[in-house]
Amino acid sequence: MDPFDRWLEADSRLKAAVHEFIASCSALQNANPADVSGPDIDDKIAQIRARKSSLATRGTIITRPQDTIDRALARFPSRASFQGLPAELLVRIFGFAIPSHCRWQYVTWRNGLVKVTSVCRRFREAAIAAPMLWSHVDFYLTDYKEDSRPPHLEKLWLERAKKSQLCVHFYCQSNLIEDYLPPYTPKMPKLPQMLAALVPYAKQIVELDLRNFEFGHLVESLAKIRLAQSDASPVTTLHVQSIQPRGPIVDNSHSLAWPSNFFTGLSQLHLNRIPRAGSPTLLELAKVLNSCPNLHTLWIINLFILEDKSARNYPKINLRQLRFLSLHWLREEGSRKLLSLLRPGDARLHLEIDMVASPDYLNANKDFITNFRVESLYLRHGEYWDYDDPEINYHLPCMRSVRILVLSLDHAATGPHLSSLISQGKRDGRTPQLPNLRTLYLMEGRFKPHNSDMLKQIVASYSLNKLVLLSCSPYSQDYPESENEKAKRRYKDVLDWIRRRVPIFQVMHNQHWSWHQYEQNET
């Protein structure tokens, strides 16, 4: 029996004995001496004394565990109520209570912080007295329906943020990308009102995020905010994502859309899905990047980098502080020339590129990796795979200095890419192709039994300090059920074996598309 259960049983017996003792004393007190003989009274007194002795013994037995329990409980103070928490701690709790993704959950969480202030007076006073809680300001619009309501909620946020640094997020809900809907001209009557509310606070903005805007509205918003800041350039992080409207592609004939003073002072720049009509030329992009020499994160995805027909020589792009460079889904010629112009510093650089077998693009990648001794590399699979000749084979000769490798896999390409990491030596020995590799991330792998065995051979061949399997699985719906079960068992056995061999081994089921952000947090 558990000690605590024994204590409870002893406690109940003690209570029963106490009640019995009291009843005996009461019966003796109410006894009539005229009706009871002397021997009877002596017997009752003897019984009471015996019960008293037994009661004292039980009390002694139960006191010892009671003291032990009291001492144990004394180590744990009573739970504090919210009323007893200091305001600083209460504010921290409010910050954790609102999830980090709430800025995109505009239906559910848009006024989450406002709802906190309506709980009670103390919550309201504590939240309003903490400007940093209100420093993330979200503006939500739609471009397919009239919505001219004044931005009262956004103004409330800005007022309560007071003088704190602001992270401003504009998010436009657009139907321009839906092919089954008829084309339309985007209209956002609410945008001028929002910009008018934001302009007085422009010099407090350190992070600006403009997403899903039609390019004309995007340029309008960026221009007004940056002009309101005048000579001050507090914005250090800029996210720009535009929409490519359906319809004929027009030639890029303007240069005013990318004046370099829009980007002065940035330390992080994210450009995503800029339409051809609004994409910068290579010369414009070089001027933009040279205007922010302290840039440490550059992320460019799905961007047309157009060549300047009149330009003969392009300026070198000196980014001595660059630590994270991510280039995906770019027009190959523009990407190749951009890499040839970049001049990062001597510190460690994390590079993210696509695995493309095009000779010009491949040579640019190899030269950049070799010349700047890239030690952290993310190779993302291209749009098309060559399963007989994996693209990673073309990159391996220049990757001898790589210590951290993030490798994007695919259902049918898992085996070929894994086998490329080790070479067949003499007497069936396995030799690592990347002798300096210490950290390996594998993304979206599909492990048949022989792929699991290949993973085991890689771990046995390399001296890995860290291995991360990200969004990997041991089976596919295309396999018969019996093959799935076999793959699951083999995959599990290999993972158990790896846990005993690799100091840091993680299996993660969510995929970080912005891998540089995850890697940045890790480092």
Tens-place pLDDT, residues 455-513: 999 999 999 999 999 888 886 555 666 677 888 888 999 999 999 999 999 998 765 54
Of residues 154 and 47, which shows the higher confidence score?
Answer: 154
Amino acid 61 reads I
Q: Tens digit of pLDDT for each residue in 258-307?
A: 777 778 889 999 988 887 777 788 888 898 999 888 999 999 988 888 77
What the block records as the tokens of 512 is 């970080």
pLDDT-based confidence at 3, cuts 50/70/90?
Answer: low
Least confident of 100-109, 132-141, 161-170, 380-389: 100-109
Strands 166-173 and 205-214, bridge-based pairing = parallel
Residue 104: the pLDDT is 42
- Distance, in Å, from the CA atom of 287 to the CA atom of 262, rounded to the nearest integer, reads 11
Mean pLDDT of 124-138: 86
Indicate the SS3 state at residue 295: coil
Which of 392, 329, 379 minimizes the C-alpha distance to 350? 379
- Distance, in Å, from the CA atom of 15 to the CA atom of 331, rounded to the nearest integer, reads 86
- Distance, in Å, from the CA atom of 505 to the CA atom of 490, rounded to the nearest integer, reads 17
pLDDT-based confidence at 253, cuts 50/70/90?
Answer: very low
Least confident of 32-46, 212-226, 337-351, 444-458: 32-46
Which of 327, 324, 322 minimizes the C-alpha distance to 305? 327
Residue 463: the pLDDT is 92
Residue 464: the pLDDT is 94
Angle between helices 449-461 and 481-499 (to 10 degrees): 10
Show the DSSP H helices in 372-448 as ranges. 392-395, 414-420
- CA distances 295 to 230, 299, 374, Å, are 21, 11, 18
Q: What is the mean pLDDT of the chain?
A: 76
Which residues are CB-contacts of 384 (< 8 A; sequence separation ≥ 6)? none
Over pLDDT 90: what percentage of the chain? 14
Strands 422-424 and 430-432, bridge-based pairing = antiparallel
CB count within 10 Å of CB 359 equals 9
Does the pLDDT at position 186 exceed 80?
Answer: no
- How many Å separate Cα 225 from the centre of its chain? 28
Which of 290, 276, 279, 273 minimizes the C-alpha distance to 257? 279
The whole-model pTM stands at 0.75
Of residues 177 and 194, which shows the higher confidence score?
Answer: 194
Phi-psi region at 230: left, alpha or beta (left = phi > 0; alpha = psi -120 to 50): left
Mean pLDDT of 429-448: 87
Does the pLDDT at position 65 exceed 50?
Answer: yes
What the block records as the tokens of 160 is 């309560």
Does the pLDDT at position 105 exceed 60?
Answer: no
Q: Tell me how many degrees the CA angle 105-194-217 measures, rounded to the nearest 5.
A: 85
Residue 46: the pLDDT is 65
Which of 366, 315, 324, 364 minimizes the C-alpha distance to 344? 324
Output b/e per residue, 129-161; b: 16+ Cβ within 10 A. Answer: ebeebbbbbbbbbbbbeeeeeebebbbebbebb
Which of 254, 263, 257, 308 minimizes the C-alpha distance to 282? 308
Residue 252: the pLDDT is 43
What residue ranges do the domains of the chain occupy? Answer: 10-19+48-68, 395-523
Of residues 184 and 353, which shows the higher confidence score?
Answer: 353
